[in-house]
Amino acid sequence: MWPEDEALDERLIPFPDGRADTDLSALVDALAEAGDRVRTGKEGPAGRFGTELRATLLASYPATSGAPAGPTIDSMQVPIGAVRWTGTRPASATAQRHRTRPIPARWPALAMVAVVALAVVALDGRVFLGGPEPSRAVEAVGAIVERDGERYALVSGAGLQADDLISTAAGGRATLAIGGGEIRLGEAATVRLDRVEGDVVVAQSAGRVWHRVGLAVGTYRVLTADVTWMASGTAFDLDRRPFGSIGDAVRAIGIEHTVRVEGPGVAIDIGEGSIAVVGLDPAGARSVAVGAVTEADLADPWIVRHGRRDVALGFDPGILDGRLAIASREPSPPASADPFVTAGPIEPIVSPPSTAAPPPEPTPQPTATPTPRRTATPTPRPTPKPTPKPTPKPTPKPTPAIATLDLKATGCHGGFAVLGWSMAGAERFDHYQTLRSTGDSIAPAYPPKPPAVAPDRLWTSGRDSLSAIDADLGPGPYVYRTLALDGGDKVLAASSGRRVTVSGVKAQGALGAVVKGATVTVEWAAYGGPDACFGAYKLALSTTDETPSYVEGGEAAWASESQTSTSAVLEALEPGTYHLRLETIRSIDGTWTLVGRTDVATVTIP
Amino acid sequence: MERDASPLTRLDPTRERALVARARVDPLAFGELYDFYLPRIHGFIARRLADGAAAEDLTAMTFERALNAVRRDDFRNDSFGGWLYRVAANAVVDHVRRARRSVPLGLGRRASDTGDPDRDDERRLGDERAERALGAALDRDELRRALARVSGPHRRLLVLRYLDGLSTDELCVVLGCSAATLAVRHHRALRAVRAALVRETSDVA
């Protein structure tokens, strides 16, 4: 065997006691000599192609790293993954663009482009290196921001900072971009931005707010009095409103992942698809009720609207997966329906509000000015009165940050998953990469964050290469998300996360066998799994091997590509004893993978 | 019986890993990797494509991807060569697939290669030319015919091993299997050729 194989499990080495097979040795020599004859002297490209390509590639390194520092290569004993970035990230890692079919004659020009890109990055690396996005208002209608004791109309594009207090009027709304996610305030809502970078902290004192936690956020906390809602990479809906004598109550719906709730006497997790109400009695008592969301909850136009917005931004829809399209065709609940009342399991602490929450003073329509502007009336009226709702100003539909791909993922017996996705747009497309995770979901970002990984076998470069098989998986759940990326690995389009469960080889039960003269009729239960997991049936037969297997090198006496086949007839068998086993297999990477198999049946032909 | 198909044309694995790690910041290290692998990767692609310009394009694309990959700190630095071959092989498959509409009937993948229903598997697209090259270089006609009679997956492994000269770890990456599995597959492929050779000999007799 090859020197590298010396440590292999000997049971898998098909040479007993290491004895060589002279026939095979001669075969190996003949093949190797033929290969040597083909390769000799014909390996390298002709002309200047190799030189020009080399120059172009090396020119993309930052000039500062041209002179190697540290130990020489020969003296290095570098463990895998031991080297980490210690300085500025090389510019070309983000600035360089792949060209699917580069034309060698253009290499000098590309080299110049690379040099220019380096200079640009040196001038303002933040633009190319993906520095943290500043916090800002994405949309604001009837909203104000209070900063340093002054009140301003909140306008789209206005920058936000820690300690800003954002309020919306009746009929107003606001969308705040924080850490790659969004905080979306409904009408009559108030939040204070205690911290907007790294670990984000938001205090929510009134109203309904959709929290879509971005990927740039470490820990995300929402404070409602002394109860804290903590999450990471999550979406959840928090509705806080007064309930007469019991004080405020907060209703939360977990949209994606889990939200941790902690407070005096409260320590619970709200899972995806769960609903909880926490009573904030001023006397200090904290009541909690948790249940499952209902279809009516999920059909709430507020939920649907924000779920769609999340998907448009490339986030996972979580519990809303598959419901957003359906919800749009179903009648919406009455506008007056109190969302608290729809949550049946939490009645003990839920009652209709006795008083309406005092809405903040409506403010003038925001202007197009991208910076906060002082309002004409800097202080609110002491006793708010019902005011006519300002006519919502038509706002442009949010433009998706990235396009969407459809992804179909099928978990199979035999330890693999079959993936297929829709075609991405042609503009700037370079390749697809499907991500896999053992976690709850995968962010639509590249490179992936652990536990998500980007297996090489799930990388395809053709725009019409729309399928892949992920193999060698252990049994268990996996989540997949397919990305379309440009040459700089920037995400152009992303699918939703798809969860599959991969299983081990399926036991297909007994193999029935009936002998009649020299004929054997065998029967079995059909595989019954997804078509994507099925390749063929093979009926392995052996007179010597008591556990015959086609995928393990045995002979097949019969085969079928139809999954509905449940019987086969073997005729004109010689007298003797035969061991039979049916295997369900699927081709992966040019080899057969075992999907399922029956028990062995042994028959004797008289 | 076994022999390394290219004992003098391999980088020491420890040195290769060191070069890959260093190439994250050091163009000279990447240059050394490039110098070693350029002829191998170009040869690998050129043996599968008749179009020399396309071979150069795919070679360039492979090394561009390699450069971007090694400069990311999450690059899995265990078999750089295997990774390169895998990218190159995928590029060839994609290229052939793209060109399919212009491929005359009969020149595409032969259904009789395997006799098995693996039509959805396209990993061997582009391999036909390399298979013919290996067959043409064999001394014995019956061995050439025997090689043509074995299944596509068996032939692919043998071509990668003996024509392209991939090492064990490189083959494992390209074929997506463990070294133990590879050993078994390799042995089966050789056995299959031997069985076909016996049939060829008996047919002639």
Q: Could you tell me the residue ranges of all domains in chain B?
A: 13-204
Whether B5 has its CB under 8 Å from any CB of chain A: the answer is yes
Closest CA to A175 of A152, A196, A158: A158
For the cut 60, the answer to whether the pLDDT of residue A354 exceeds it is no
Q: Which residues in chain B have their CB less than 8 angstroms from residue A12's CB?
A: 180-181, 183-184
Q: How much is the pTM?
A: 0.36
**Is A34 within 8 Å of B90 when comparing Cβ atoms?**
no
Total residue count of chain B as it appears in this document: 205
Q: What is the dihedral of CA A200, A201, A203, A208, to 10 degrees?
A: 30
For the cut 80, the answer to whether the pLDDT of residue A471 exceeds it is yes
8 Å CB contact between A200 and A228: no
Per-residue confidence (pLDDT) for residue A284, from 0 to 100 = 72
The mean pLDDT value for A63-82 works out to: 34
Summarised one tens digit per residue, pLDDT across range A482-510 is 999 988 888 888 887 788 889 999 999 99
Number of Cβ atoms within 10 Å of the Cβ of A313: 20
Closest CA to A422 of A492, A494, A367: A494
For the cut 80, the answer to whether the pLDDT of residue A218 exceeds it is no
Tell how far CA B196 is from the center of its chain.
Answer: 22
Domain ranges in chain A?
136-374, 403-502, 506-605
Residue from the list A3, A35, A465 with its beta carbon closest to the beta carbon of B165: A35
* Lowest-pLDDT range of A79-88, A173-182, A438-447: A79-88
Q: Which residues contact A167 (CB under 8 A, 6 or more apart)?
A: A143, A144, A146, A189, A190, A360
Per-residue confidence (pLDDT) for residue A399, from 0 to 100 = 37
Q: With helix as H, strand as E and coil as C, how does A162-199 read?
A: CCEEEEEEEEEEEEEEECCEEEEECCCCEEEEEECCCC
**Is A27 within 8 Å of B193 when comparing Cβ atoms?**
yes
Per-residue confidence (pLDDT) for residue A521, from 0 to 100 = 92
Element (H, E) at A30: helix A22-39
Per-residue confidence (pLDDT) for residue A314, from 0 to 100 = 72
What the block records as the tokens of A85 is: 């970035």
Task: Please report which residue ranges of A89-237 form alpha helices under DSSP H.
Answer: 92-95, 107-123, 125-129
**Is B94 within 8 Å of A460 when comparing Cβ atoms?**
yes
Which residue of chain A is at minimal alpha-carbon distance from B19? A73
Whether B10 has its CB under 8 Å from any CB of chain A: the answer is no
Per-residue confidence (pLDDT) for residue A166, from 0 to 100 = 94
**Is B29 within 8 Å of A68 when comparing Cβ atoms?**
yes
Whether B145 has its CB under 8 Å from any CB of chain A: the answer is no
Q: Which residues in chain A have their CB less than 8 angstroms from residue B6's CB?
A: 39
Cα–Cα distance between A540 and A519 in angstroms, integer? 16
Residue written as tokens 């499952």?
A: A292
- CA angle centred on A97, ends A94 and A102, rounded to 5°: 155
Cα–Cα distance between A66 and A63 in angstroms, integer? 5
Angstroms from B68 CA to nearest CA on chain A: 6
Residue from the list B76, B180, B190 with its beta carbon closest to the beta carbon of A24: B190
Which residue of chain A is at minimal alpha-carbon distance from B114? A590
Q: Which residues in chain B have their CB less than 8 angstroms from residue A47's CB?
A: none
> How many CA atoms are closer than 13 Å to the CA of A269, on its beta-carbon side?
8
Number of Cβ atoms within 10 Å of the Cβ of A116: 11
Q: Is the N-terminal amide bond of A400 cis, ω within 30° of 0? A: no
- To the nearest whole percent, how much of chain A has pLDDT over 70? 69
The CATH code of the domain at B13-204 is 1.10.10.10
Angstroms from A86 CA to nearest CA on chain B: 10
**Is A461 within 8 Å of B19 when comparing Cβ atoms?**
no
Greatest Cα pair distance in chain A: 105
Closest CA to A588 of A417, A407, A438: A417
Per-residue confidence (pLDDT) for residue A413, from 0 to 100 = 95
Which residue of chain A is at minimal alpha-carbon distance from B12? A74
Residue written as tokens 């399922």?
A: A596
Element (H, E) at A25: helix A22-39
**Is B162 within 8 Å of A35 when comparing Cβ atoms?**
yes
Summarised one tens digit per residue, pLDDT across range B99-146 is 664 433 333 333 333 334 344 345 667 788 888 889 888 888 888 999
Q: With helix as H, strand as E and coil as C, how does chain B read?
A: CCCCCCCCCCCCHHHHHHHHHHCCCCHHHHHHHHHHHHHHHHHHHHCCCCCHHHHHHHHHHHHHHHHHHHCCCCCCCCCHHHHHHHHHHHHHHHHHHHHHHHCCCCCCCCHHHCCCCCCCCCCCCCHHHHHHHHHHHCCCHHHHHHHHHCCHHHHHHHHHHHHCCCCHHHHHHHHCCCHHHHHHHHHHHHHHHHHHHHHHHHHHC
Whether B96 has its CB under 8 Å from any CB of chain A: the answer is no
8 Å CB contact between A512 and A471: no
Summarised one tens digit per residue, pLDDT across range B48-84 is 988 888 899 999 999 999 998 888 877 887 889 999 9
Element (H, E) at A49: helix A49-59
**Is A73 within 8 Å of B18 when comparing Cβ atoms?**
yes
8 Å CB contact between A403 and A493: yes
For the cut 60, the answer to whether the pLDDT of residue B28 exceeds it is yes
Q: How confident is the model at residue A245 (pLDDT cuts 50, 70, 90)?
A: low
**Is A587 within 8 Å of B91 when comparing Cβ atoms?**
no
Residue written as tokens 């003949």?
A: A30
Closest CA to A136 of A205, A223, A214: A214
Q: Which residues in chain A have their CB less than 8 angstroms from residue B89's CB?
A: none
Which residue of chain B is at minimal alpha-carbon distance from A10? B180
For the cut 60, the answer to whether the pLDDT of residue A374 exceeds it is no
Interface test with chain A among B4, B33, B71, B178, by most A beta carbons within 10 Å: B71
Please state whether A565 falls in left (phi above 0), alpha (psi between -120 and 50) or beta. Answer: beta
8 Å CB contact between B173 and B83: yes
Whether B71 has its CB under 8 Å from any CB of chain A: the answer is yes
Cα–Cα distance between A236 and A383 in angstroms, integer? 32
Tell how far CA B94 is from the center of its chain.
Answer: 15
Interface test with chain B among A1, A2, A418, A469, by most B beta carbons within 10 Å: A2
Tell how far CA A398 is from the center of its chain.
Answer: 22
Q: Which residues in chain B have their CB less than 8 angstroms from residue A82's CB?
A: 21
Tell how far CA A139 is from the center of its chain.
Answer: 27
The mean pLDDT value for A564-571 works out to: 89
**Is A57 within 8 Å of B67 when comparing Cβ atoms?**
yes
* Lowest-pLDDT range of A97-111, A185-199, A571-585, B14-28: A97-111
Phi, psi of A371 (to 5 degrees): -125, 150
Number of Cβ atoms within 10 Å of the Cβ of A341: 12
Residue written as tokens 């019954």?
A: A528
Interface test with chain A among B14, B64, B164, by most A beta carbons within 10 Å: B64
Q: What is the CA radius of gyration of chain A?
A: 32
Q: Which residues in chain A have their CB less than 8 angstroms from residue B169's CB?
A: 4
Which amino acid is residue A91, in one-letter code?
Answer: A
Q: Which residues contact A474 (CB under 8 A, 6 or more apart)?
A: A415, A502
Higher pLDDT, A223 or A78: A223
Q: How confident is the model at residue A233 (pLDDT cuts 50, 70, 90)?
A: low
Q: Which residues contact A511 (CB under 8 A, 6 or more apart)?
A: A522, A523, A524, A580, A581, A582, A598, A599, A600, A601
Q: Which residues in chain B have their CB less than 8 angstroms from residue A435's CB?
A: none
Angstroms from A240 CA to nearest CA on chain B: 43
Whether B148 has its CB under 8 Å from any CB of chain A: the answer is no
- To the nearest whole percent, how much of chain A has pLDDT over 90? 22
Q: Which residues in chain B have their CB less than 8 angstroms from residue A591's CB?
A: 153, 175, 177, 185
The CATH code of the domain at A506-605 is 2.60.40.10
Residue from the list B18, B34, B168 with its beta carbon closest to the beta carbon of A76: B18
For the cut 60, the answer to whether the pLDDT of residue A265 exceeds it is yes
Per-residue confidence (pLDDT) for residue A88, from 0 to 100 = 28
Which residue of chain A is at minimal alpha-carbon distance from B93? A462
ipTM of predicted assembly, 2 dp: 0.84
Letter string b/e over residues A521-553, b meaning 16 or more CB atoms within 10 A of that residue's CB = ebebeebebeebbbbbbbbbbbeebeebbbbeb
Highest mean pLDDT pick, A1-15, A88-102, A247-261, B95-109: A247-261
Per-residue confidence (pLDDT) for residue B110, from 0 to 100 = 36
Residue from the list A46, A90, A590 with its beta carbon closest to the beta carbon of B123: A590
Closest CA to A272 of A439, A417, A410: A439
What the block records as the tokens of B148 is: 């043509």
Enumerate helices (H) and strands (E) in chain A, giving the number of each: 8, 33
Residue written as tokens 């910041």?
A: B25
Whether B14 has its CB under 8 Å from any CB of chain A: the answer is yes
Q: Which residues in chain B have their CB less than 8 angstroms from residue A8's CB?
A: 179-180, 183
Closest CA to A290 of A224, A348, A221, A209: A348
**Is A44 within 8 Å of B38 when comparing Cβ atoms?**
yes
**Is A535 within 8 Å of B117 when comparing Cβ atoms?**
yes
Angstroms from B128 CA to nearest CA on chain A: 14
Angstroms from B37 CA to nearest CA on chain A: 9
Summarised one tens digit per residue, pLDDT across range A386-426 is 444 444 444 444 434 467 788 888 999 999 999 999 898 88
Q: How confident is the model at residue A210 (pLDDT cuts 50, 70, 90)?
A: very high
Domain spanning A403-502, CATH architecture: Sandwich (2.60)
Q: Which residues contact A58 (CB under 8 A, 6 or more apart)?
A: B27, B30, B31
8 Å CB contact between B100 and B18: no
How far is the CA of A472 from the CAs of A100, A412, B174, in angstroms? 29, 11, 14
For the cut 90, the answer to whether the pLDDT of residue A186 exceeds it is yes
Cα–Cα distance between A238 and A224 in angstroms, integer? 10
The CATH code of the domain at A136-374 is 2.60.120.1440
The mean pLDDT value for B141-164 works out to: 90
Q: Which residues in chain B have their CB less than 8 angstroms from residue A38's CB?
A: 47, 133-134, 137, 163
Per-residue confidence (pLDDT) for residue A497, from 0 to 100 = 76
Q: How confident is the model at residue A152 (pLDDT cuts 50, 70, 90)?
A: confident
Phi, psi of A242 (to 5 degrees): -75, 150
The mean pLDDT value for A42-70 works out to: 68
Q: Which residues in chain A have their CB less than 8 angstroms from residue B143's CB?
A: 27, 30
Closest CA to A452 of A479, A473, A425: A479
Cα–Cα distance between A293 and B10 in angstroms, integer? 60
8 Å CB contact between B93 and B135: no
The mean pLDDT value for A570-583 works out to: 90
8 Å CB contact between B91 and B45: yes
**Is B190 within 8 Å of A68 when comparing Cβ atoms?**
no
Which amino acid is residue A148, in one-letter code?
Answer: D
**Is B42 within 8 Å of A50 when comparing Cβ atoms?**
yes
How many interchain CB pairs under 8 A, A with B? 272
**Is B168 within 8 Å of A587 when comparing Cβ atoms?**
no
Mean pLDDT of all residues belonging to chain A: 73
Higher pLDDT, A474 or A244: A474
